[in-house]
Structure 1
Amino acid sequence: MAHKVFVAGATGAIGAALTPLLIEAGYKVFGSTRRAERAKQLEAAGVVPVVVDVFDANALRDALCFIAPLSVIHQLTDLPAGLDPARMAEAVRNNARIRDEGTRNLIAAAIAAGSNRLIAQSIAWAYRLGATPYDETSPLDVDAEGARGISVRGVAALERQVLEAASLNGTVLRYGQIYGPGTGADTPKGSSPLHVEAAAYAALLALQQGAAGVYNIAQDDAEVTSAKAKRELRWRASLRRVARV
């Protein structure tokens, strides 16, 4: 029987890049969306669609218990199209809620369903100001003020829950600022850029390697070091679906 994987946020930028990789690798992929009109998009990609809202804890638990996935991959975000500046303040709050309450609901559902593997998306630009490059042991900037503080504390809540979840082998991928198809950015940006397909490969490799813990995932010119991911996951920032190098 094929290894079942539930991808929460399968229609997002990273989720959409990840699902074909999982299918090509032989996994049976179930993908969530909260918008029913996106179900056909998932079906066309070979994904079994699951229309569910991560904030509906009961419906989410019922869905995962019915599927019984061995592994769950958390790629949920709530970002406006094109990263519209006028809506980013709201997005910061929404993302923090997903990372805290949404993660809590997803973990509870995964445990109820008998899953034993959880891989979750985090961010690589949440470190407290200090000497660079930042590695995975560098402290997060949880005392920051304003929007940054909301984001970093949401990230910290997500990571703590994933790494401490009973019966789940948890992995946190601290992604750099993604660019590429579906991201709203065509070229590298930010202090720790990362192509969306390389981000997707990191999740696939984490699943295949069974590696637990925290990993920075960003290009070599980033202010963070991804040496641990290169060493333990065999990940490279140059990975693409078409040209695997």
Structure 2
Amino acid sequence: MRVFVAGATGVIGSRLVPLLLSTGHDVIGLARSSSAGVALEKLGVHVVHADALDHAAMRRAVRVAAPDAVVHLLTSIPARIDPKQMSRDFAQTNRLRAQGTLNLVDAAREAGARRVITQGLAYVYEPNSTGLATEDAPFWHHPPKQFGPVLAALRELEQLTEEAGGLTLRLGHLYGPGTMYAPDGAFARQVQARKVPIIGRGTATFSFTHVDDAAYAIAAALDSKARGALNVVDDEPAKVCEWLPVLARLLNAPQPFHVPEALARLVIGSWGVAYMTRLRGADNANARHALDWHPKYPSWRQGFEAELALGGSAS
């Protein structure tokens, strides 16, 4: 299969591309810089240069590539995010998820691609509900102001994907090489400096996804007829009060202290507090069934241990 990967040099793309090549796919990678293109070419990837936000350029690039499938993994997320300025920090990513998806979907349709796969998020669900969220659960009805534009862009991405007969993989909190949870990642460094407290009772439920598990799910989705959206997360959602002390221990960091919600809100805003106290975990049963997929790391416990116990050398 000829697979056009937009975001081929990103955190997930860098794990997906070698996997696709090793299983016999022809990969066309989208690159904006010559240095990124050179790295892809060394792997055996055919490289095209275009701006994903340029509608005409994307149509030309995908038409020439003539792929069977288009995979959209484009983001532009800063290494360190200020939760009080999330709208600013995610502005470019929101454009890539909205206008970028429209451009890619139009290009894929014109080129005759029969499969479109996009990257969504699995922590978008209405928090005022009990139990793990399936894909039918509603998105957050009244999210904190800073998360509103992010959620709107994700809604648009999923709608465009569905209209194209494609599949959105709602990924959990990504960890592994190149992520903020890696030993050299921004979040890990903050934990080591004891700058990440447990806010309130630490009741936000996180569903984690290792980057390799995300890549394997995308590869499986290429040969699947699944449409709509699927939660691609591990089997053990966990509250912040449970996983954060484990992460600190594996990083040889001091144990996190506790901060009241009201005090934390002054520092990190309403979204920062909601992120650490209100998120709802996701159920992966449908992805397991529809994609015949199961996570390499069923639990974040195993994944964190593999990535962090030896300084990430397990990767």
TM-score by length of 2: 0.70
The whole-number CA distance in structure 2 between the counterparts of 1:201 and 1:156 is 24
Q: Give the structure with higher Rg (CA).
A: 2
Q: Match for residue 25 of structure 2?
A: 27
User: Structure 1 residues 134 and 45 mapped into 2: Cα distance closer, same or farther (>3 Å)?
Assistant: same
Q: Match for residue 243 of structure 1?
A: none
Q: Match for residue 91 of structure 1?
A: 89
Deviation string 1:151-195 (CA, Å, 9 cap, x unpaired) is 111111000010012xxx301100001011111322799711110
The whole-number CA distance in structure 1 between the counterparts of 2:31 and 2:86 is 21
Aligned residues: 234
The whole-number CA distance in structure 1 between the counterparts of 2:31 and 2:216 is 21
The whole-number CA distance in structure 1 between the counterparts of 2:170 and 2:115 is 17
Q: Match for residue 199 of structure 1?
A: 214
Q: Match for residue 17 of structure 1?
A: 15
Q: Match for residue 59 of structure 2?
A: 61
Shift of 1:84: 4.6
Alignment check: 8 A CA contact 2:120 2:171 kept: yes
Shift of 1:8: 0.6
The whole-number CA distance in structure 2 between the counterparts of 1:144 and 1:85 is 17
Secondary structure in 1 aligned to 2:156?
Answer: helix
**1:142-153 equivalences in 2 (<5 Å):** 142-153=141-152
TM-score by length of 1: 0.89
**Unmatched runs of 5 consecutive residues or more in structure 2:** 189-204, 238-280, 299-315
Q: Match for residue 232 of structure 1?
A: 290
Kindly provide the amino acid, as one letter, of the partner of residue 30 in structure 1.
I
- Aligned-residue Cα RMSD (Å) equals 2.0
User: Structure 1 residues 142 and 96 mapped into 2: Cα distance closer, same or farther (>3 Å)?
Assistant: farther
The whole-number CA distance in structure 1 between the counterparts of 2:88 and 2:21 is 34
Kindly provide the amino acid, as one letter, of the partner of residue 233 in structure 1.
L
Is 1:140 the counterpart of 2:139? The answer is yes
Shift of 1:88: 4.9
Identity among equivalent pairs (%)? 36
Kindly provide the amino acid, as one letter, of the partner of residue 140 in structure 1.
F
Of residues 203, 209, 232, the one that matches 1:217 is 232
**Unmatched runs of 5 consecutive residues or more in structure 1:** 241-245
Alignment check: 8 A CA contact 1:68 1:115 kept: yes
The whole-number CA distance in structure 2 between the counterparts of 1:148 and 1:113 is 34
Q: Match for residue 305 of structure 2?
A: none
Alignment check: 8 A CA contact 1:201 1:239 kept: no
Kindly provide the amino acid, as one letter, of the partner of residue 132 in structure 1.
G
Secondary structure in 2 aligned to 1:72?
Answer: strand
Kindly provide the amino acid, as one letter, of the partner of residue 203 in structure 1.
I
